[in-house]
Structure 1
Amino acid sequence: MTEREFIKQLTPELQRMGWWGKKVFVDSAGKAEVVQEGSPWRLKTIYRTNVMSAYNAARYKQQYENADSRPYWMYIAVMDAKTRPQHAVLHGRVFRFDDPIWDTIYPSNSFNCRCRVRALTEAQIKARGLTVESSKGRLKQVMQEVAIDKRTGEIIQRPAWQYTAPDGRTMTPSPGWNYNPGRAAFQPDLERYDYDLARQYVEGMLTGPAFARAWNKWEVRVAQIRAETPGIADDAIREMLKHEAVPASFWPVAILSAADRQLLGTQTQVARLSDWTLAKQAVSRSKQGFKVDTYWRVQPTIETAITVLKNYKPTGTEVYLFYGEGNGVYVAVLKPTKNQATGADELYLDSFRKSSNYELARLRTKLEVLR
């Protein structure tokens, strides 16, 4: 889809949702302010950012798989009049591919970021007289301002990683970009792993920094939207984020046993969480006190589900798995599907939320009971 087609297709949808043009909002002091919501310029930013994020995700996968022969990565900024000073701080700096800095500053690092990474061999490093740096002692966590609530004047802050160069200059990715989009999109083929090994990988991934930064990206973005547009409905926020999510990017969140695969009627052992679903969860689950570490509960919810229900919908089937009791009931909603290119079974986490015995009892009377 071209940029022009993207704008032409999305504009009427945003107009229908009421998120378009200029609107007047009043803050807590009674001061009125004109705010520009949807616009062709903003849609261009979303389109170009998604294109660059997809490009960098593919580059990361390619460079990572070729790291044995090209283990040194150089950060490249465009270095023209539009280059952000903080991005220029990293221009020409070289780190090993496995340096922790790439979890934070692998491009893109902001909206409309044009930076990229070049992979180099040992011979190229020596021939060019380049210095391979280490980020050890140069990365620290800081509190970053992400938005100002227009109604209350509250400054909203979130933790972010900041790099300090040897010359004292610093670089902190823009709010919501303090993670590696390429690594988020790149995952090993867990279908080839045995159950225990795959399960260990998922547990480590869900409790690691990369997933935390991906969640933080959406948490920050939702906070920004709510601060910039007080009173905006959740549906309108989701409509905005739908076109900002990285296509084909997902996180494995659970591994299914052979018995669970048979119960659900699927051949895949991996339950995936798409970037788009993660964005939706950030909108609605914040009201339930969900944090990034809540997602480790997906695995035990599936493994020890006390009740499993199947829902037949026009768009496909959904499986509800309930775990816990009293005030600690959780439900994972899984959606079996097929890969359009290969025809292979796939399984996606469509929703994960706190539930109740009441909802469980109500759905048992409406849906097919598998367990």
Structure 2
Amino acid sequence: MHKSMGQSMVDFSFNLPPEENIKALKAKKPKLSFKYDEVMHEAHLKAFTIAKVTKLDLLSDIQDSLLKAQSEGKSFEVWKKEIKPTLAKKGWLGKVEVINDKTGESKTINVNNTRLKKIYNTNMRTANAQGRAKAQYALEGEIYLRYIALQDGLTRPSHLKMQGITLHRDDPFWKTNYPPNGWNCRCVVRAYSKAECESQGFSISQTPPLPIASVDWSYDKRGLEKDNSLNTILDSKLKKFAKDNNKSVFVESLQATKEDISQVRKNYAAIKTLKQKALKGKADKEFIPIAKTTQTLQNLLHTKAKEIYLSGWTLKTHTHHTNVAEFDYSLLPFLIRDTNVYKVKESKENHIVYFSKFGSYYKAVFKVTQNKEEVFLVSLSKGNKKI
């Protein structure tokens, strides 16, 4: 993972494993921001946004920790206890001075339990909301959604006005008003068939003329559409800093990130196709490039090979690794970054490298051909604890 001390927005794109609420959290891309109103609306969901955090590696650490908390059902107190040493080590705990690249504005913020709880709650809720939306839109038949606002005296008045609104799931209203509709919003949406609406006495509402959600949250939070904004954002940032010599390191980081994202997208599609062919016995000798070697990996493997390849035979013969999917193989460009490596082993034939990423621990086995010109990933396994 490349690092950046700047505060401009940087995204990452990941393909997703099966379970919907974990998918939502993994799908979020680390994005830097100074103020929430400087971030495009889609950032709250399509990007993993934590205001005033200024280092990409720190964002990645927070994302990893939240993903692990989500998958293991950890409470806020447990997550807080585990993440605090990392925050302290990287200078993001207690009073922290941050500077806005855009304006030069300096501000002291207090990273305390209240701020951490807001980060935890907001991201857990949005992850669960997106998982719920995907499940509701996967239902067959004519489905209606009903807005539910808690009536306990703590709900915002604008949200209470939405209580009971019942509309077809394809109604444009949901594009801008599917909850959450604000920080710490507790509203939810429930799905009903037409028959269920009739039996419960729910009348179909008229589409409100204007969005009711707050301005900062009136965007599509369901995560149903493919995010096509990533390259546009990266291109705009590259152009902005290209002529500034002081930003050269940041530009290199952005360019590398863009290349990684492009490779991951290609990987996922290519790996799925290769695996399907391999399982039919039609691709045993086929192989595809899935990542570029790093200098560290080249030194370790004693090769100058630029590419890492994956064969149909490996995909076919490693189906017993049931927790490793096309998603995991496609992430190799990110896994092999030096900052993710925590252990290395060598043998006469293979080199084994251990990575920690996205709340999981990976063991990758690499093999170099006799002429030292090609590198193959011959095995990939994954666990929740260090292997």
Shorter-normalised TM-score: what interval?
A: 0.3 to 0.5
Provide TM-score, normalisation by structure 1. 0.44
* Higher normalized contact order (CA 8 Å, seq sep 6+, divided by chain length): 2
Q: State the TM-score, normalizing by the size of structure 2.
A: 0.42
